[in-house]
C-alpha cells in the first residue's frame, strides 16, 4: 500500500477529529471505517489501524499534572499588562495556564492584579512574569519580595541573560524535605530562553556565591541553602524561537532539538529526581506549528503574539484590528526601550506604522553623537516635530521627574553623562510608544509599538474566511481549544500517512470546518 493515494470520505475524517475515542480501521478495497464489526469479514485485509488521539494526550502528562491543567499548552506573558487579569482569568477558568504580563508595570499595579486573579481563580493555577531588569537589580529583588509575600508559586522568568540573586531567592523559598527524603519545591520556575548558554544555567543548581550571599542576608534558611544544591533552577524551560518582542529570531527546528539534547546530557550528569520539561514558543499559532513542535519532542507549547488579538487582551481595539490584518512578512526588528543602549532589538509590527523606522533613526543618532547638544538643527527639528511632538527640554523634564521618584541615582549619572541623558530622552519615546498602542492614544497611531512575530500572519491565514478572522470573535480559551484539538487531528493524519496513505488536499481539515 506504500505510496498509494487513499481517498476517503469526509465522514471518516470527521470521526478522526470529532470522536477521538474511536479507532479507524483502514482495509483493502473497503476503504476506511470506524466500525469494528467490519473486521469480522475483512480482518485479513486490514492494513492499518488509526488509534485514538485526543488533545489531552499531546505533550507531557507531568506538565499537565504539575499545574493542574487540561492541555500541555500555556499562554505566555505579554509585558505591560497586555496579558492582563481578564486574559489570565479566562484561561484559568477554562482549566488552562496563563501568565500575567508584569514586566514594565509598577509593583502596586502588579500586586493589585495578583489579588484580583487569585480571588477569581481560587485553586486554579496561574503564573506571573518575572522579567530580568538589566539596569535595576533592586527592582528585581522587590518584585520577588512581592511575589513571595503574595504567595505566587509559579513564575515565568524571561529575558534573563544570566542567573541573578532575585531568581535564586525565589527558587529557594519553601524548599523542604518530605518524610520520604524527597525534596518538595514550593516555587516553580518556567524559564523562557532563546540561547543554549542561558538554558544551561537554569538546568543547573544555583550559583554558590549567590546562595552564600542570600544566606548571609538572612533571606533564606540553612535548609533552603543546602537544598538549592540538589534541585535545578527551573522545572520547565520554554525554548523561544522567532517571536514577537525580544527575540534572537532563531528557527524552532534548530534551537529546540539542541536544547533537548543539552537537557538530556545534563540530566545524566546531575541525575535530578525529575527530568526538566522543555517547551516550545515562538511561531506557535496554528495546529501545524503545534504539531511540528510536539513531533520534535516539546513537552508543551506556548502561544504569544496571537493572544494579543483576543478580546480578553488588555490592548486597544486599534491594535487588535492591526494584528488581525497582519501577514507573515509584516514584521521587522526595531530598538528595544529597556535595552536601548545595548542595541537590543524587539520584533514588532511594521504594517501601517512608522515606529520601526523612527526608533531606528533615534538609535542611529545615539551612536553618532555624544549628547543632545551635538544634534544638528535638522535632526532636532524632526525629532521635536514628528516624533516627540514637543520640545526635547520638556521631554527631559518629564524624564528627570520620573527617575527622581523611582531611581534617583540614574538622574545623577545622566546629569554628568550627556550620552546617557540622550539615551533616557530617546527611551521616553520608545517606552511611551507601547503605552500609546495599548491605550489607543489618538493622534499617535503612526507611533504604535506593537510586539508581534510572523506567527500572527500565519494565524490570520489559517482562520481566514471563518468567524475567527475578526478580532471581536477571538476568545483565548476557544482559540487554545481549537489549536490543541486540531493538532490531535493532525497527529492522527500523520500516523496514517506514515503507514503509506496520502490524502486528497481537500480532505484535510481546516479552521473553517472545526
pLDDT of residue 44: 47
What pLDDT, on the 0 to 100 scale, is given for residue 508?
46
pLDDT of residue 503: 57
Nearest of 316, 303, 320 to residue 244 by alpha carbon: 303
Grid cell 487554545 in the structure block, residue: 480
- CB 289, CB 311: distance < 8 Å: no
- Rounded CA separation 276/233 (Å): 10
- Distance CA(135)–CA(406), nearest Å, equals 13
Helix ranges, 136-183 (H):
137-149, 165-172
pLDDT attached to residue 59? 97
Query: Is the Cβ–Cβ distance between 185 and 231 less than 8 Å?
Result: yes
Which has the closest alpha carbon to 244: 325, 313, 323? 323
E strand or H helix that includes residue 94: none
* DSSP designation for 53: -
Q: Running along the chain, 514 residues long, what does each successive block of 10 average in pLDDT?
A: 40 54 56 52 54 88 96 94 96 97 94 98 96 84 97 96 96 94 94 96 95 97 95 96 88 96 87 87 95 97 95 97 96 92 93 96 96 96 96 95 87 94 96 95 96 95 96 96 92 77 51 42
**CB distance 310 to 316 below 8 Å:** no
Domain 57-315 falls under CATH 3.20.20.70: yes
Helix (H, G, I), strand (E, B) or coil at 401: helix
Q: Give the distance, in angstroms, between the CA of residue 12 and the centroid of all CA atoms in the same chain.
A: 36
Cβ atoms 175, 184 nearer than 8 A = yes
451 DSSP assignment: B
Contacts of 447 (CB under 8 A, 6+ apart): 353, 354, 355, 358, 387, 429, 433, 436
Distance (Å, whole) CA 308 – CA 321? 10
Q: What is the pLDDT of residue 13?
A: 54
DSSP one-letter code for 307: G
Q: Cell 470527521 sits at which residue?
A: 14
Beta strands at 46-50 and 24-27: parallel, antiparallel or unpaired? antiparallel
Residue 35 has a pLDDT of 56
pLDDT of residue 501: 64
Give the C-alpha distances (Å, rounded to integers) separating 468 from 461, 476, 509.
10, 11, 16
E strands, 105-179, in order: 127-131, 154-158, 176-177
Domain range annotation of the chain: 4-52+485-513, 57-315, 323-447
- DSSP one-letter code for 190: E
Amino acid at each position: 500500500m506504500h505510496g498509494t493515494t487513499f481517498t476517503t470520505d469526509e465522514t471518516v475524517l470527521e470521526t478522526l477529529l470529532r470522536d477521538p475515542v474511536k479507532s479507524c480501521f483502514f482495509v483493502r478495497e473497503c476503504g476506511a471505517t470506524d466500525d469494528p464489526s467490519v473486521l469480522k469479514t475483512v480482518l485479513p485485509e486490514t492494513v492499518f489501524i488509526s488509534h485514538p488521539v485526543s488533545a489531552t494526550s499531546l505533550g507531557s502528562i507531568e506538565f499537565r499534572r504539575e499545574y493542574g491543567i487540561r492541555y500541555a499548552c500555556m499562554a505566555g506573558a505579554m509585558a505591560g499588562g497586555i496579558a492582563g487579569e481578564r486574559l489570565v482569568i479566562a484561561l484559568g477558568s477554562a482549566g488552562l495556564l496563563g501568565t500575567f504580563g508584569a514586566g514594565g508595570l509598577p509593583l502596586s499595579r502588579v500586586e493589585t492584579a495578583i489579588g484580583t486573579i487569585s480571588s477569581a481563580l481560587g485553586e486554579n493555577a496561574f503564573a506571573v512574569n518575572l522579567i530580568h531588569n538589566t539596569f535595576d537589580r533592586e527592582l528585581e529583588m522587590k518584585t520577588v519580595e512581592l511575589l513571595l509575600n503574595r504567595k505566587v508559586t509559579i513564575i515565568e522568568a524571561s529575558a534573563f541573560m544570566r542567573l541573578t540573586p532575585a531568581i535564586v531567592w525565589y527558587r529557594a523559598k519553601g524548599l523542604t524535605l518530605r518524610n520520604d527524603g524527597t525534596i518538595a519545591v514550593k516555587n516553580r520556575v518556567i524559564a523562557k530562553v532563546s540561547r543554549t548558554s542561558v538554558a544551561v544555567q537554569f538546568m543547573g543548581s544555583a550559583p554558590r556565591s549567590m546562595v552564600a550571599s542570600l544566606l548571609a542576608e538572612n533571606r533564606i534558611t540553612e535548609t533552603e541553602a543546602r537544598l538549592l544544591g540538589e534541585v535545578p533552577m527551573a522545572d520547565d524551560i520554554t525554548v523561544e524561537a522567532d517571536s514577537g518582542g525580544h527575540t534572537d529570531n532563531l528557527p524552532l527546528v534548530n534551537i529546540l532539538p539542541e536544547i533537548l539534547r543539552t537537557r538530556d546530557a545534563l540530566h545524566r550528569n546531575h541525575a535530578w529526581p525529575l527530568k526538566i520539561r522543555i517547551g516550545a514558543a515562538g511561531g506557535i499559532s496554528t495546529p501545524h506549528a503545534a504539531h511540528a513542535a510536539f513531533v520534535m519532542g516539546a513537552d508543551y507549547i506556548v502561544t504569544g503574539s496571537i493572544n494579543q488579538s483576543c478580546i480578553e487582551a488588555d490592548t486597544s481595539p486599534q491594535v487588535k484590528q492591526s494584528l488581525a490584518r497582519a501577514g507573515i512578512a509584516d514584521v521587522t526588528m526595531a530598538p528595544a526601550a529597556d535595552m536601548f543602549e545595548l542595541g537590543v532589538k524587539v520584533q514588532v509590527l511594521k504594517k501601517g506604522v512608522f515606529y520601526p523606522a523612527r526608533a531606528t533613526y533615534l538609535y542611529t543618532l545615539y551612536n553618532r553623537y555624544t549628547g543632545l547638544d551635538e544634534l544638528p538643527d535638522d535632526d532636532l527639528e524632526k525629532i521635536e516635530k514628528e516624533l516627540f511632538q514637543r520640545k526635547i527640554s520638556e521631554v527631559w523634564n518629564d524624564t528627570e521627574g520620573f527617575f527622581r521618584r523611582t531611581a534617583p541615582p540614574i538622574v545623577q549619572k545622566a546629569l554628568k553623562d550627556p550620552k546617557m541623558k540622550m539615551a533616557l530622552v530617546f527611551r521616553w519615546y520608545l517606552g511611551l510608544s507601547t503605552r500609546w498602542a495599548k491605550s489607543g492614544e489618538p493622534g499617535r497611531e503612526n507611533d504604535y509599538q506593537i510586539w508581534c512575530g510572523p506567527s500572527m500572519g500565519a494565524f490570520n491565514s489559517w482562520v481566514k474566511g471563518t468567524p475567527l478572522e475578526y478580532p471581536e470573535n477571538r476568545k483565548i480559551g476557544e482559540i487554545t481549544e481549537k489549536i490543541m484539538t486540531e493538532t490531535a487531528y493532525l497527529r492522527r493524519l500523520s500516523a496514517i500517512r506514515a503507514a503509506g496513505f496520502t490524502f486528497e488536499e481537500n480532505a484535510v481539515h481546516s479552521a473553517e470546518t472545526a
